[in-house]
């Protein structure tokens, strides 16, 4: 995608964001803008193209050499007719590649292009993961602020009730002070969350190259995605860009080994020269022109200190690349298993909160409120019940955020789960 097209796409996406009623950006919009706007993706793509061009160029023979000159010219007169051996020479020389050098050299370049493609795909996955995490971070802070503000209204009503009860003699001053303290603590939590929201917005805005940003309130569908079995996920792990890079490096070192082995082959060359002679022979006939044709060959005879060492070095590099691939596969598998465990536990805890903890906390708060209004429960018990419900709502929200963060890590490892 050229620069003009990129600019037009980014402008269009940003215009769509601005057109939203709340000036918010969806996760999909954020991903599209970030991928187009990322300079490193563009740079790595250009490098990949460079290797492809070099791969194509490396399949050509070396350029031939043409020779022009004069041979055996007498320096006393510089007369081209004086001596019989004087010639005007034009020559053509072509060196042929040894063995399968062109094929193997092109394969090395193509493998390097494959490595760069792997880097491009890895960078794209990194951008997607980081943008998703930044987007979820902003979403979590925005939703947390809504919960905090909603609960603040509840605690304000509790303060009003306490003040009314205190005025009528049904409550003591400590209850009023406790209600005021609860509101102050909520205000502190609100300010902290607002500060963290600004930091999160700056992080997301950096990826989108905008000044400030808000995100949609609704989570995308994949936020509640099914957690596949570890065996199914391992199949997707095989397509991870780091493993693709390792495979391409293996191919590159295999071709490099074949290229080193080509140096055992002889290299042939052809040299053809035509010599034009001027003047006449003693009998008055024209002097005959000369044609010279030679075949050259270099013989790799003494290979112990050069070719043998180069082949041995290529074999060692190939062996090293195999071990590096094994290490990468083990590391990625470890990360996959750890992420799968985290996701499973987050899913179990979310079910526990939605099915038991949150309903119980809400019921406990409602019972405490009725008991307090009827004079059966003191205010400290009511305050504890309200704070518990407030904290459980925030805890469930944080679990959703952590679950989606872990899903971003999982998709980084195995690709899109849709």
Among the ranges given (103-117, 141-155, 198-212, 232-246), the one the predictor scored with the smallest mean pLDDT: 198-212
Can you give the pLDDT at residue 8?
47
Q: Residue 359: is its pLDDT beyond 80?
A: yes
**Mean of pLDDT values over 175-199:** 91
Can you give the pLDDT at residue 63?
87
Domain ranges of the chain: 3-61+96-265+300-414, 63-95+266-299
Q: Residue 111: is its pLDDT beyond 50?
A: yes
CATH of domain 3-61+96-265+300-414: 1.20.1600.10
**Mean of pLDDT values over 7-36:** 66
Can you give the pLDDT at residue 9?
46
Q: Tell me the pLDDT of the chain averaged across its residues.
A: 87
Can you give the pLDDT at residue 418?
65
Can you give the pLDDT at residue 19?
41
Can you give the pLDDT at residue 77?
84
Can you give the pLDDT at residue 225?
55
Question: Tens digit of pLDDT for each residue in 167-185?
Answer: 877 767 888 888 889 899 9
Q: Residue 354: is its pLDDT beyond 90?
A: yes
Question: Tens digit of pLDDT for each residue in 313-322?
Answer: 999 999 999 9
Tokens (6 digits) for 249: 């490096």
Band of residue 300 on the pLDDT scale cut at 50, 70, 90: confident
Q: Residue 67: is its pLDDT beyond 70?
A: yes
Q: Residue 1: is its pLDDT beyond 80?
A: no
Can you give the pLDDT at residue 393?
94
Question: Tens digit of pLDDT for each residue in 129-150?
Answer: 999 999 999 999 999 999 999 9
Among the ranges given (171-180, 209-218, 249-258, 298-307), the one the predictor scored with the smallest mean pLDDT: 209-218
Among the ranges given (30-44, 146-160, 215-229, 390-404), the one the predictor scored with the smallest mean pLDDT: 215-229
Can you give the pLDDT at residue 93?
93
Can you give the pLDDT at residue 12?
45
Among the ranges given (106-110, 157-161, 224-228, 229-233), the one the predictor scored with the smallest mean pLDDT: 224-228
Q: Residue 2: is its pLDDT beyond 60?
A: no
Share of the chain above pLDDT 70, in %: 92
């Amino acid at each position: 995608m050229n620069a003009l097209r990129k600019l037009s796409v980014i402008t269009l996406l940003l215009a769509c964001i601005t057109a939203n009623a709340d000036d918010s950006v969806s996760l999909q919009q954020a991903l599209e803008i970030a991928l187009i706007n990322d300079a490193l993706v563009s740079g790595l793509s250009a490098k990949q193209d460079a290797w492809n061009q070099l791969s194509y160029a490396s399949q050509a023979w070396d350029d031939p050499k043409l020779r022009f000159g004069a041979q055996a010219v007498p320096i006393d007169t510089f007369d081209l007719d004086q001596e019989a051996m004087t010639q005007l020479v034009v020559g053509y020389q072509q060196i042929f590649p040894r063995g399968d050098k062109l094929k193997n050299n092109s394969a090395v370049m193509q493998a390097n292009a494959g490595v760069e493609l792997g880097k491009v795909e890895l960078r794209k996955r990194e951008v997607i993961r980081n943008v998703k995490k930044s987007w979820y971070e902003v979403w979590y802070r925005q939703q947390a602020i809504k919960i905090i503000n909603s609960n603040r209204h509840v605690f304000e009503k509790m303060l009003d009730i306490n003040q009314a009860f205190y005025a009528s003699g049904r409550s003591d001053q400590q209850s009023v002070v406790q209600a005021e303290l609860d509101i102050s603590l909520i205000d502190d939590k609100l300010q902290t969350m607002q500060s963290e929201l600004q930091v999160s917005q700056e992080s997301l805005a950096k990826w989108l190259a905008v000044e400030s940003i808000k995100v949609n309130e609704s989570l995308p569908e994949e936020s509640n995605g099914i957690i596949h079995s570890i065996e199914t996920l391992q199949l997707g792990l095989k397509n991870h860009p780091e493993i693709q890079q390792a495979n391409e490096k293996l191919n590159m070192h295999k071709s490099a080994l074949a290229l080193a082995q080509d140096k055992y082959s002889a290299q042939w060359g052809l040299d053809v020269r035509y010599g034009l002679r001027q003047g006449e022979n003693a009998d008055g006939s024209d002097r005959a022109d000369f044609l010279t044709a030679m075949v050259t060959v270099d013989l790799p005879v003494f290979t112990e200190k050069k070719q043998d060492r180069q082949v041995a070095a290529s074999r060692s590099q190939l062996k090293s690349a195999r071990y590096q691939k094994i290490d990468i596969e083990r590391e990625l598998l470890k990360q996959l298993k750890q992420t799968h465990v985290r996701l499973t536990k987050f899913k179990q805890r979310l079910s526990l909160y939605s099915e038991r903890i949150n309903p119980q906390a809400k019921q406990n708060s409602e019972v405490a409120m009725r008991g307090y209004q009827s004079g059966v429960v003191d205010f400290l018990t009511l305050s504890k019940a309200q704070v518990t419900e407030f904290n459980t709502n925030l805890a469930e929200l944080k679990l959703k955020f952590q679950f989606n963060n872990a899903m971003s890590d999982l998709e980084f490892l195995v690709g899109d789960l849709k």
